[in-house]
């Protein structure tokens, strides 16, 4: 397999990549999530990351990643930006892409694609190091 497509989403963890949101319920936008819900959900996500142990965890949007940093990692001194993060969780590298939701339409398809390409470049050497399958 040379290219992963949407039909491979369930297999991404086999390749060492975990895509995640902090709260696992659909909302119209991140503003619909209450701060206490984010505070409760972030430690649960940290436990899931530990259990599934991807090489790289990719968050959809800074709005989700910020409470994860605060409530799961206990860090208030970090100012997250899109891309590779300076923090790790249980040895897992962290990466943030713009949220692909239509509510976040100020990123073009080309810009979104460029962020996923950056994720692929970031993840590639980690995936070659063992664990998970590696694309030929």
Q: Smallest Cα–Cα separation from 66: which of 56, 57, 54, 78? A: 78
Domain total in the chain: 1
| pLDDT, tens digit, 9 for 90 and up, residues 33-43 | 777 878 888 99
**Domain with 47 in it: what CATH number?**
3.40.470.10
pLDDT of residue 29 exceeding 70: no
d(CA 122, CA 120): 5
Q: Kindly state whether residue 117 falls inside one of the protein's structural domains.
A: yes
pLDDT of residue 69 exceeding 90: yes
**Domain span including residue 32:** 12-128
The reported pLDDT for the residue numbered 12 is 80
Q: Kindly state whether residue 69 falls inside one of the protein's structural domains.
A: yes
Q: Kindly state whether residue 123 falls inside one of the protein's structural domains.
A: yes
Tokens encoding 36:
């206490």
| pLDDT, tens digit, 9 for 90 and up, residues 43-55 | 999 999 999 899 9
Give the global pTM.
0.85
pLDDT-based confidence at residue 87 (cuts at 50, 70, 90): very high
């Amino acid at each position: 397999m040379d290219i992963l497509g949407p039909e491979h989403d369930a297999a991404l963890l086999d390749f060492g990549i975990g895509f995640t949101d902090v709260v696992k319920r659909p909302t119209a936008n991140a503003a619909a999530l209450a701060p206490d819900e984010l505070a409760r959900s972030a430690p649960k996500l940290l436990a899931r990351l530990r259990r599934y142990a991807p090489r790289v965890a990719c968050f959809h949007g800074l709005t989700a990643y910020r409470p994860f940093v605060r409530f799961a990692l206990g860090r208030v001194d970090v100012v997250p930006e899109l891309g590779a993060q300076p923090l790790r969780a249980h040895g897992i590298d962290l990466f943030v892409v713009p949220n692909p939701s239509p509510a976040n339409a100020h990123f073009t398809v080309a810009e979104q694609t460029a962020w996923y390409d950056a994720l692929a470049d970031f993840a590639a050497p980690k995936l070659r190091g063992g664990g998970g399958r590696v694309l030929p």
